[in-house]
A and B are shown apart, each in its own frame.
Chain A
């Protein structure tokens, strides 16, 4: 694409591209029942921006798995809850998954989904030194919702999430990986891209528009 086109034009072209893509994948995105977001080192601000920008009528529950130390009390959820139009909370054992809510995996626990769509916490061994593990949550949710899952993997410093993304891909769910060039730490998105082919590899701006598209594409009555 010639540089002279200017940013605005490039942007418009991209939006069209995205619209085409989502139209192509429309059916798969439309019937989704949940959005999963996984990230580690360098992904926190992006998650913060994504969640705080979600519209009030965002049609799907969102589950965020973020690696963080249990040693430091974190108040991400509280801060985000005050900024966001949605209810942002630390997932509690047996919470029923509902739209309008954003659930964060608590530090030091894995987060699983039950067949009855309630959440279960689990403090078994860390996977790839991580608890919560992105792989564990992604796989568990895909076991319940099969292909009705949208999963997004962002910046991070280890390979957690790659197995999870590929598991969802295998089950024909919809997978999005942050473009390694946009990621603060590229290891995590790169590991996923090397392992299987994600449906979309997006820059940060593109991720925001993707979330906006979701708000309008997904079947609200599902």
Chain B
């Protein structure tokens, strides 16, 4: 890769791009972390060897470029059973409670390529709750959702995922849930029947269902505090009474007003229950 010894773009130029993307494509990134956006946009410009002028012109004139732009700007790094201790905590502290609900609706917001949603499906299956459950995975990015729908992953990655799976204290083996063929691992059909992936933008879309559990991990770190609070409000509105909210291990409910509406279930894994 080319040396990065100069500023590729300034924060002012990041603001310009945000404005253009909003005007031309109707995606509002104004609540996104500027440090992260600057890094991502710089990365696109470096990968594709674009000047600021060329980037703008591509954004205006080339609709398929915008899809690429969206993929690069939003971070789509995910794993099955990422943070095994989190899944252990869900199994031990949340599922016993969830089992008392007639219907268990799960929303994985910012689900990217779907690995986390399938992990939740496996968790529910192991506690014999899957048949009562329905899982929604949403993202702003159509392309990653297509991957999620297919449920086909690189077999090599399954090694790491299997390790996570074991560390989470799950019974059996992850390979019970996928079929390996050549270098691909396909999630088994039984696990896919109660799952729906669809487009939802946390910035601009609202409540679309009532959930018993919402998981949104390592998504809001890319938002500024104001947008974070707005989205947590959206989750609050979308949860049934005593429903659960799972955030990433480095994201806690900091806003005092919002924190009052939740009870802490696990302080380390940032699992909360709606009370207010």
Contact = CB atoms under 8 A, between A and B. Distances in A.
B6 interface: yes
B194 interface: no
B4 A122 contact: no
Contact of A121 (B6, B250, B254): B250
A115 B12 CA distance: 11
A18 interface: no
A124 B35 contact: no
Contacts of B5: 163, 166-167, 170, 196
A115 B224 CA distance: 11
B7 A122 contact: no
B180 to A, nearest CB: 24
A112 B11 contact: no
A163 B35 contact: no
B11 A143 contact: yes
B256 interface: no
Contacts of A106: 250
Contacts of B3: 163, 166
B157 to A, nearest CB: 14
B113 to A, nearest CB: 14
B36 A122 contact: yes
A109 B218 CA distance: 10
B33 interface: yes
Most buried by B among A118, A123, A135, A140: A123
Give the interface size bracket for B toward A.
Answer: 20 to 34
A10 interface: no
A166 B224 CA distance: 29
Contact of B11 (A115, A118, A124, A167): A115
A123 B76 CA distance: 9
B251 to A, nearest CB: 5
Interface in A87-127: 90, 92-94, 106, 109, 112-115, 118, 120-125
A121 B251 CA distance: 9
Contact of B4 (A94, A112, A125, A163): A163
Nearest to B218: A123
B33 A114 contact: yes
Given A92-B252, A170-B6, A125 B77 contact: yes
A193 interface: no
Give the interface size bracket for A toward B.
Answer: 20 to 34
A93 B251 CA distance: 6
A124 B7 contact: no
Contacts of B33: 112, 114, 120, 122
Given A122-B75, A143-B11, A167-B5, A92 B250 contact: yes
B39 interface: yes
Given A139-B4, A163-B3, A112 B75 contact: no
A115 B34 contact: yes
Contacts of A144: 35
A63 interface: no
Contacts of A122: 33, 35-36, 39, 75, 221-222
A9 B34 CA distance: 51
A123 B35 contact: no
Contacts of A121: 221, 250
A114 B39 CA distance: 11
B250 A112 contact: no
Nearest to A140: B35
A157 to B, nearest CB: 20
Contact of B77 (A115, A124, A170): A124
Interface in B206-225: 218, 220-222, 224-225
Interface of B: 3-7, 11, 33-36, 38-40, 75, 77, 218, 220-222, 224-225, 228, 250-252, 254
6 contacts: A93-B220, A106-B250, A124-B39, A124-B77, A125-B77, A167-B5
Given A120-B221, A139-B4, 10 more contacts: A93-B221, A93-B251, A94-B225, A94-B228, A112-B39, A121-B221, A123-B75, A143-B35, A163-B3, A163-B4
